[in-house]
Structure 1
Amino acid sequence: MTTPESRPGTAPAWGLLLAVAGAKLAVHLALANRYGTFRDELYFLDCGRNLAWGYVDAAPAIGLYAKVALLLGGSLPVLRGIAGLAGAAVVLLTGLLAWRLGGSRAAQGLAAAAALATPAFLGIAGLFSMNVFEPLFWTGCAFVLVRLADGASPRLWLLFGLVAGLGLLNKHSTAFFGLALLAGLLLSPMRRAFAGPWPWAGAGVALLVFLPNLLWQSAHGFPTLEDLRNVARTGKNVVLGPGEFLLQQVLQQGPHLLPLWLGGLAWLFLARNGRYRALASAFAVFFVLMFAMKAKAYYLTPIYPMLLAAGAVGLDELFERRRRFAGRAWPRAAVTAWAVLLTVPVAPLVLPILDPPGFVAYTRRIGFEPPKSEVAHRGPLPQHFGDQFGWPELVADVAKVWNGLTPEERDRAAIFANNYGEAGAINLFGPAHGLPRAISAHQNHFFWGPPAFTGDVLVVLQDDRESLERLCTSVEEAGRHQHPWGMAEENGPIWVCRGLRTPLGELWPRLKKWN
């Protein structure tokens, strides 16, 4: 005999939650054109032009998202609008998770407002990438698990598997979230569910959904694993010590929100007789796992909405147990205002509110130096801003070099980009200058391969003369690119190389750059 599913005593506060989600979308739409196209966005558009069941450094869903964006025109407002919609959906789902946990209307509103105001997620939702969709799938998994913990039909494990499988198609890091959830389930009363068939059936659904990407990886020699090994071997990412890693969690999620998500973690461990302990244990396991893997600090961002939802419910219950606050709206309103208003001074650090000189002046005034996530980063702006500057200007500089070639040379020439940002910029902005599509051996561009041409003339971006002279009989510095606010590594010469010593088809495997 099964126990009936326990249901929340209140209804979802749809109007309130939709209003907060709408505010989230409005913020990102208002700032969509403030800076330029981000480096990764340029690459993802190329993925959208080359749909596949996988990419070297990304799961396949990003190509589908980008294809939709291209069908809608591919403009910056379209890209950022899609990201903003996903961010708004996360805000809505966080509020609904608070409702599912038994939260009142006020708790739902606080959870949604906290999700809106989290600095890291403000920044992530301001850019088009798979990262903005990730918390949607993870919070969806948490929502289904809460229902299962509340006694819902075990057939709901099939829905859990579907959401988890789609999450894997969105980003492979969902696998680590899945491992953490598995550990959390085994450490909680929910482990009894594994005696039945439905959790295993749910795992089968997840595997079936993910199978096309797994087959693509196998057919291509598991390039994502090679890419990850290269990143680890080359020391590309900044490695944080335990204290730094913990500090970045506090800073990225907002110091003023620390009591809320930390309280949410405690509430999940202790409340309702430990019914939701699996989620709390999963967070602890995932935190340790990410630190042990030397992951970037922001990789934990998609796991926090469930803690914010739980924290909002726990705080609301705490107010109800205090006679002074019970049944009164003002303490809930005050905490919600606190969550939002204290994000305002931080917002210019993660959103393109200020122009570059204003940003530099602001960070100096408040004594804040944005941390680096990659060792090679150089430039006056943090990477998430610097990578939005200089691309149209780079393409214009390349066009000057291209137009300096004779018509006969242009007929047999190609533009070789050393990274996917440069290639994506040429492919997006180049047609207006009459440029052909770029070729590159970076990440998935390697699989898209070179066109059928002799390699007699190459316009090469960002390389050094010595390396090029080993490949070509003639190397000429034909132009230079310089931008005060873009990434410093993009500033440099633009070369014209003639007389490739080895046919490009033979040379191509040696040019592969997966990192």
Structure 2
Amino acid sequence: MQTTERPAFARREVGAVAAVLGLTLLVFSGRYGYHRDELYFLAAGHHPAWGYPDQPPLVPLLARLADIVAPGSLIALRLPSTLAATTVVLLAGLTARDLGARRNGQVVAATTTAMCGFVLGTGHLLSTSTFALLGGTAVVALLVRILAGSAGIRSWLALGLLAGVTSEFNILVLALVAAVGVAVALVGPRHWFREPGPYLAVLVALVLAAPYLLWQADHGWPQSEIADNIANGGSGSSQSRIAFLPMVILQAGPWLAPLWLTGLFRLLRDRTLRCLPVAFLVLTVLVLVAGGKPYYLSGFLPLFLAAGAQPFVDRARTWVVPALLVLSTPVLVFVLPLLPAKDAQVAVDVNYDAGETIGWPAYVDQIAAAYHRLPAGTAILTDNYGEAGAVDRFGPDLGLPAAHSGHNGFGRWGPPPRSAPVLAVGLDRATLARSCTSVQRLGRLHEVHGIDNDEDGAPLFFCAAPVEPWSRLWSRFVFLG
């Protein structure tokens, strides 16, 4: 590192930036509606387990607790994400201080982090990526202190605890830790391999991650199949390998790239801290090969903004940083629900996830209208967990039964009753024709605001009776992705 004495922490200024971000996220938490993943988390929270095919247990547990404390409140559901995003901003300011930034550099690090698309996006919605960002940022911030020689065995223990607890929200933090290990082997400090601290950290992390890892092993590692599906474009937010790096820059904020690239190259020149940017490059290669998503790298972005803030401020004209921040403000429109829902297509065209927060109550109203024209005892079978989660959330007030779906965790929670007729939502006729004695088309879902999202146009069919008990047909409908 270039400094031996840390400047004072700009507590008030950095705290003010974090508070503004937190207040902004809080104000807009209740607009539009649930994201499809949030509906799934709420449903999964009613099926507590050590793991699910696509995620560890703690995000569904958080969703369940929020719904117990404040039933139906989006603000309560998203409060953990708001707090996570504000913590990331504070960590960016602290890390900038640890890297020698003065007061103005710390404020720039915090402000640019608050304007980063990754931070705003994951701070707005409850998601596993929220905690990948928070945990990754915290692990990297602690590694900066360890590398500076200002921390001992307790810091390694804390590192293991951070990584282990984060792994029960999002297992990707272990990939970040592994990338750091590879980077240390490549560029040092190799004396870590002769010290007990790193081994203690890895041991603690693996012990805390063990419940989920054992669940995955006991169920045949379904998350690896989901990863393959994501790599092959099966997720709505999947990116091609060609588009991956441009999307990292776009989602981080293209106008902020000069700052975080300054930080990346600064750290590559620093013998003490070089393993961190090398770990980022190692992780980038791993994610590219595996076909992962841009947010998998997000834990390093606050570090690079922190490392680049003071050098950039010192070299650039005084108006440059304010100009970059002003140019970055459109991210607010694309990531947060600032526009009326009827005018949100411009945001949806850029940000897939925005579209998945619009229209669910109306979709369930349409499902209910079709359902109540069908015979008593009809079950509801949906194509994906968003549709099933929406029926479970909004359906009871409309007289709907719990939904069934073969998608991810829902697939493990069981098929429709033995020989019940079903209202099929979003499933294609060919699949139903192989499983039902007759298939009657009932119509399509339509998004009432005119937004083009995944559910708009989803077909509704009535399956009069299954050709076999649903328990025997269920494997046709179960899928991971």
Same fold (TM over 0.5): yes
Equivalent residues in 2 for 1:366-381 (5 A)?
A: 370=350
More displaced 10-residue stretch of structure 1: 396-405 or 431-440: 396-405
Q: Which amino acid aligns with 1:12?
A: F
Q: Does the 8 Å contact 1:397/1:479 carry over to 2?
A: no
Q: Does the 8 Å contact 1:37/1:389 carry over to 2?
A: yes
Residue 157 (structure 2) aligns with? 158
Structure 2 unaligned residues grouped into runs of 5+: none
Residue 240 (structure 1) aligns with? 241
Q: Does the 8 Å contact 1:117/1:339 carry over to 2?
A: no
Tell me, yes or no, if structure 1 residue 149 matches structure 2 residue 157.
no
CA distance in 2, matches of 1:482, 1:176: 40
Match of 1:508 among 461, 474, 479: 474
CA distance in 2, matches of 1:351, 1:208: 37
Tell me, yes or no, if structure 1 residue 168 matches structure 2 residue 183.
no
Residue 460 (structure 2) aligns with? 494
Equivalent residues in 2 for 1:107-126 (5 A)?
A: 107-126=105-124
Q: Percent identity?
A: 36
More displaced 10-residue stretch of structure 1: 198-207 or 183-192: 183-192
Tell me, yes or no, if structure 1 residue 387 matches structure 2 residue 356.
yes
Match of 2:427 among 432, 441, 463: 463
Tell me, yes or no, if structure 1 residue 441 matches structure 2 residue 406.
yes
CA distance in 1, matches of 2:436, 2:302: 54
More displaced 10-residue stretch of structure 1: 434-443 or 72-81: 72-81
Q: Which amino acid aligns with 1:46?
A: A
Alpha-carbon offset, residue 225 of structure 1: 1.6
Residue 342 (structure 1) aligns with? 327
Alpha-carbon offset, residue 177 of structure 1: 1.2
Residue 217 (structure 1) aligns with? 216
Alpha-carbon offset, residue 23 of structure 1: 0.8
Q: Does the 8 Å contact 1:184/1:279 carry over to 2?
A: yes
More displaced 10-residue stretch of structure 1: 475-484 or 124-133: 475-484
CA distance in 2, matches of 1:256, 1:232: 28
Tell me, yes or no, if structure 1 residue 420 matches structure 2 residue 385.
yes
Q: Does the 8 Å contact 2:6/2:98 carry over to 1?
A: no
More displaced 10-residue stretch of structure 1: 388-397 or 246-255: 246-255
Equivalent residues in 2 for 1:9-408 (5 A)?
A: 9-73=6-70, 74-151=72-149, 152-232=151-231, 237-241=238-242, 244-271=243-270, 274-315=271-312, 318=314, 331=318, 334=319, 336-356=321-341, 358-360=343-345, 370=350, 382-406=351-375
Q: Which amino acid aligns with 1:433?
A: L
Q: Deviations over 1:94-130 (max 9, x none)?
A: 1111122222222211111011011232222221111
Q: Which amino acid aligns with 2:357?
A: Q
CA distance in 1, matches of 2:345, 2:384: 27
Q: Does the 8 Å contact 1:8/1:99 carry over to 2?
A: no
More displaced 10-residue stretch of structure 1: 197-206 or 337-346: 337-346
183 and 361 in structure 1: CA distance in 2 versus 1, 3 angstrom threshold: closer
User: Once superposed, what is the RMSD of the aligned Cα atoms?
Assistant: 2.3
Alpha-carbon offset, residue 43 of structure 1: 0.8
Q: Does the 8 Å contact 2:248/2:295 carry over to 1?
A: yes
Q: Does the 8 Å contact 1:113/1:339 carry over to 2?
A: no
More displaced 10-residue stretch of structure 1: 97-106 or 209-218: 97-106
2:55 aligned counterpart, secondary structure:
coil
Q: Deviations over 1:340-359 (max 9, x none)?
A: 32221332122221235544
CA distance in 2, matches of 1:113, 1:45: 32
The alignment of Structure 1 onto Structure 2 pairs a total of residues equal to 473
8 and 207 in structure 1: CA distance in 2 versus 1, 3 angstrom threshold: same
72 and 362 in structure 1: CA distance in 2 versus 1, 3 angstrom threshold: closer
More displaced 10-residue stretch of structure 1: 352-361 or 494-503: 352-361
Alpha-carbon offset, residue 392 of structure 1: 0.9
Q: Which amino acid aligns with 1:19?
A: A
CA distance in 2, matches of 1:119, 1:227: 25
Q: Does the 8 Å contact 1:390/1:486 carry over to 2?
A: no
Alpha-carbon offset, residue 170 of structure 1: 1.7
Structure 1 unaligned residues grouped into runs of 5+: 1-5, 320-324, 364-368, 371-381
Alpha-carbon offset, residue 290 of structure 1: 1.9
Larger Rg: 1
Q: Which amino acid aligns with 2:461?
A: W
